[in-house]
Structure 1
Amino acid sequence: EALVETGIFTYILPRFTLKTRVRVDLVSEGEAEVQLGPEGQPVFEGLGQVWHLAPRVTPSENAARFAEWLGGEVGGRTVTAYAPEGVALFRLPEIAEQAEAAPVYEGDARLGHEVSRAQCARCHGVDRATRGAGIGSTPSFAVLRGMPDWELRFAGFYTLNPHPAFTIIDEVTEPFPEERPSPIVPIRLSLEELDAMLAYVAAMEAADLGAPLTHQ
């Protein structure tokens, strides 16, 4: 169906499994313990409708755990961070947005710093020590952190050019085609490392960009 075709489940299910060690499978409507549709708890909005989560049967412990996660703050942030080609496809329902607390990033910021230096410093300045390093035309992490959509940019960086050509996110991205291998030594991250990098960037001081920027 249309929701599956957006790729949202390929994005969120590995993240849920990483946090909980519980695997979730997409099955037919008749086999599902919980389903997304027009009735139940509103969890996110997109594709012209509000998607609600509802049990079809008495859910198992694992199914109930997934439902609680998807309907909670972390699940909501995960859904809204999905932004293929830099465009967010989903948002929280209006009623949920009014009660939304300030984001809390659960990743290990120290690990995120290490990963950023190891994987990203070849092109970006990722801290004071690497300021001015890398490619001159490439914005530093501090500059990117100062942009209003910084979270979307970092959470989905592997979908934004030129990153898809040389980036692997375990359990998320497809292997490089044999006829189009990575042109450089690939960047390879686990979901845990991606979450850690997001936590590191969230905690850093943003560069002062002055007046609002117009950017793509």
Structure 2
Amino acid sequence: MKIGILQTGLAPESLVASSGEYPEMFARLLDGNGFDFQAWRVVDGVFPEGPHEADGWLITGSKHGVYEDHDWLPPLEQLIRDIYASGRPLVGVCFGHQIIAKALGGRVEKFPGGWAVGPQSYAFPDGEKVVNAWHQDQVITPPEGAEVVASNDFCRYAALLYPGHAYTVQPHPEFGDEFISSLIDLRGKGVVPDDRLQAARDALGTPLDSRVLADQFARFFTERRIS
């Protein structure tokens, strides 16, 4: 099965040698499922010809906001609607979670409560899962028909299931503690309040359930379900 990865942001340049770009992180996360991967750097205006270019699609995270004025955002939203209409499975993470919601009629905003950084606990139907997060924006109003699959007190719509079509999550199962630690230094200081950065650093080492979300993604790609 070929998974097309739509890259909507760039990893910090100094981390690429050790961690790879976002498509490489997702390829590692989903390794062992028999998938082949091809990435399109849509953040640089590079798009596939259409949904037929892959059997399933994944949209990465990004430092950009879905409400910003970038030339590549309107065609990305149209591609999302085309993928949805084609019936090919679609997965979104962080920015991907948000842009899919926006493209399908939802609303995304900067959350008044500020940032979620580092290990966060989310209530899923089968129990609490801890996954790394890095975001201030949130889905405020989900699209019609989207089912809430995970939430916590800070992020009400942390995972959304669009039955038979898409599965999206706000946290980052592809981010390990080392990457989060580097983001704190490279992108957090002066942007995220110091107390939240320190709390995130203190929480590093908490056992993560990233593999659970990876299994959900793989199951959705192959079976259109997450459990």
| Structure (1 or 2) with the larger CA radius of gyration | 1
| TM over 0.5, shorter chain | no
TM-score, normalised with respect to structure 1: 0.35
Higher strand share: 2
TM-score, normalised with respect to structure 2: 0.34
